[in-house]
């Protein structure tokens, strides 16, 4: 854990050099670990979440716990669609979600994510620091790239960090209530479909 902890710290120190740094937060276990160090090293970070309007009630409660525990205000990018609400995997992760990301990164020179290589084949080659292939001049920091699920939980227990309660109910990865089921890895996301990514982290 010491080696990975040092890796996390050094990666976030690099990210902290950017004046217009954004952290995309979905209130999962990875975000809890990152926020624990990020706000000390880079208090100027803009922490932002994308609200689809169909988040789990537990996600909304965790949102409040994160703000209280870390002493941070989390900005909101609205990706809801009142006239055509998200109802399931077949109507999930519309362009509204990607547009919300683009708005959150407008003017940013770097952003931090909770991506880990272990999460999915589409993330297996993630580097700690890499240029954002979609956004020239923007760097992407993935400080947990080499962490395993066990490493993340060890840090949460060790530091008594708040975390999403659905993790205790078999949800390894948590998205919208309309299309997320319990499952290991990311198998509970868009269950029953061939979908593996929401579009935010795909080149």
Active site residue 198: yes
Look at residues 86, 134, 110 and name the one whose alpha carbon lies nearest to residue 24. Answer: 110
Angle at 123 between CA 62 and CA 180, to 5 degrees: 40
Query: For residue 32, what are its two tokens?
Result: 């809890």
Place of tokens 């240029």: 131
Query: For residue 24, what are its two tokens?
Result: 């995309």
On whether the CB atoms of residues 171 and 182 are closer than 8 A, the answer is: yes
Active-site residue among 25, 93, 176, 198? 198
Distance CA 120, CA 72 (A): 30
Query: For residue 83, what are its two tokens?
Result: 């006239």
**Residues classed as catalytic:** 198
């Amino acid at each position: 854990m010491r080696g990975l902890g040092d890796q996390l710290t050094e990666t976030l120190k690099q990210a902290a050099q950017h004046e217009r740094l954004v952290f995309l937060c979905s209130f999962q276990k990875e975000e809890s670990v990152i926020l624990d160090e990020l706000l000390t090293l880079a208090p100027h970070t803009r922490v932002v979440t994308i609200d689809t309007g169909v988040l789990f009630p537990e996600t909304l409660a965790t949102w409040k716990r994160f703000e209280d525990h870390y002493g941070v205000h989390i900005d909101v990018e609205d990706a809801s669609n009142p006239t055509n609400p998200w109802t399931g995997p077949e109507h999930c992760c519309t362009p509204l979600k990607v547009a919300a990301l683009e708005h959150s990164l407008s003017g940013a020179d770097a952003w931090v994510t909770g991506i880990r290589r272990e999460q999915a084949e589409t993330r297996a080659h993630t580097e700690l620091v890499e240029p954002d292939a979609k956004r020239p001049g923007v760097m992407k920091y993935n400080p947990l790239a080499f962490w395993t699920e066990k490493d993340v939980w060890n840090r949460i227990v060790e530091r008594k960090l708040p975390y999403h309660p659905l993790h205790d109910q078999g949800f390894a990865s948590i998205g919208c209530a309309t299309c997320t089921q319990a499952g290991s890895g990311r198998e509970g996301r868009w269950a029953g479909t061939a979908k593996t990514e929401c579009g935010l982290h795909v080149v």
